[in-house]
Amino acid sequence: MITWGSLTFAEQTLMRHAIGGRRLAGSVQVYGIGLRWAGAADAPPLRSYTDAEQRKLIPMLAATVLDLIDGGYLVVQESHHAFLRPSDPILAGSQVRDVLADADNWIWDHERSRHFYLGAPAAVREQWTEDAWPAADATGLPTWNELTETEQDILICAQESSGMLTGDFGDWPDPPADSSPAERLAFVEEQLSPLLPFVRKGWIEVRHMPDATSDAFTVIPFEELHSAFADPAMRYQGEEWGIGLSCVFTYAGLAVRRGGAWRL
C-alpha cells in the first residue's frame, strides 16, 4: 500500500472523507476548507465555494475518486436513507462513473432523495486513520471535567460540525430585547469569553450560515467576532434551523482533541 504522504492534497481530502464514511455531496466544500486551513495559495477566501467554483473543480475530483477506486482504496455507495447502512450497494463500472460525472451529486441539496457516500475498505481505514486524523501534543490542556459547562457546550457544538451557537436552535441565548447598545456589547463580551481562546489558537472556526437550504457560509475572523455576535441579523431571529452563527473544529483542533485534550 502506498504511504499517506505520497497522496496528493485532493487524494488525502477524499480519503479522509471516505475513512469517515461521509457523503459525496459537500465534499468539494471540504476540499476548499482543507486548502484554506493548510494556507494553500489556491484556497478560497474566508467563505464557502460558490456553485460555479464547485462545478469547476468536480471533474478533477471525480477523476481522483476513480483513480482511488481503481487502486482499491475507496468505494462509492448509494443510500436512500438518512444514514448509510452496511447493506447499501457499492457502485461499480458505468454506475459509479455516471454518478461522479453528474455534478449535481457533488453539490449539497437539502431536498436530495438519493445519497452517495465515500467509503474505504477496513484494511485501508486501519492503515490510514491515524495519518488522516493525526494527534497533536495536548500536554497541559484540561480534561473534560476541568472545563466549565459553557466550554463543554462549545466543544460539543464544534464536534457536531453543524452545531449552531445562535438562532432559534442555537446554544446561546440572545441579549435581552430591551438592551441598550452598551448593555448588548457587554452581554456579547461575556458570552464570547470562553470561545475566544479556542478561536485564537486556531482550534475552532466560527462561521455565519445565511441559508437553511444551502451549505454556504462565511468565516468570521477573530477580530470581527464581537461585531458579528452583536448584530441581530447575523445571530438570526427567525425559527429555521441552520441559520445564524456556528462553530466547527479545525483539523488543528481535532488533532489536539485526538492527542488527549478535553477527555472525560
Average pLDDT in the 82-93 region?
87
pLDDT at 250 over 80: yes
What's residue 114's pLDDT?
A: 86
* 103: phi then psi, degrees, rounded to nearest 5: -60, -30
Is 0.85 topped by the overall pTM? Answer: yes
pLDDT at 81 over 90: no
What's residue 167's pLDDT?
A: 92
> Which residue reads 479522509 in cell numbers?
16
pLDDT at 157 over 90: yes
Distance, CA of 195 to chain centre: 18
**Contact at 8 Å (CB) between 220 and 196?**
no
pLDDT at 5 over 70: yes
Give the model's confidence band at 62: pLDDT under 50 very low, under 70 low, under 90 confident, else very high: very high
Average pLDDT in the 62-76 region?
98
Burial zone of 138 (CB within 10 Å; 0-12 exposed, 13-18 middle, 19+ buried): middle
Summarised one tens digit per residue, pLDDT across range 203-223 is 999 999 999 899 999 999 999
**Contact at 8 Å (CB) between 47 and 138?**
no
- Please measure the distance between the N-terminal and C-terminal CA atoms of the chain and give it in whole angstroms: 35
126, 129, 103, 128: which is closest to 116 by C-alpha?
103
Summarised one tens digit per residue, pLDDT across range 105-116 is 999 998 877 899
CA dist., res. 240 & res. 244, Å (int): 9
Q: Write down the mean pLDDT value for the chain.
A: 94
What's residue 224's pLDDT?
A: 98
Give the model's confidence band at 129: pLDDT under 50 very low, under 70 low, under 90 confident, else very high: very high
- Other C-beta atoms lying within 10 Å of the C-beta of residue 71: 12
Average pLDDT in the 20-27 region?
95
Give the model's confidence band at 123: pLDDT under 50 very low, under 70 low, under 90 confident, else very high: very high
pLDDT at 61 over 70: yes
Helical ranges in 5-116 per DSSP H: 9-19, 27-37, 51-70, 93-101
CA dist., res. 174 & res. 167, Å (int): 8
What's residue 161's pLDDT?
A: 66
pLDDT at 162 over 80: no
235, 215, 225: which is closest to 165 by C-alpha?
235
Strand partners, 115: 79
Helix (H, G, I), strand (E, B) or coil at 236: coil
pLDDT at 173 over 80: yes
Task: Name every residue whose Cβ is closer than 8 Å to that of residue 50 and which is 6 or more positions away in sequence.
Answer: none
Q: Which of 3-7, 83-87, 251-255 has the lowest mean pLDDT?
A: 83-87
CA dist., res. 92 & res. 69, Å (int): 9
In the chain, where the domains are located? 4-132, 144-258
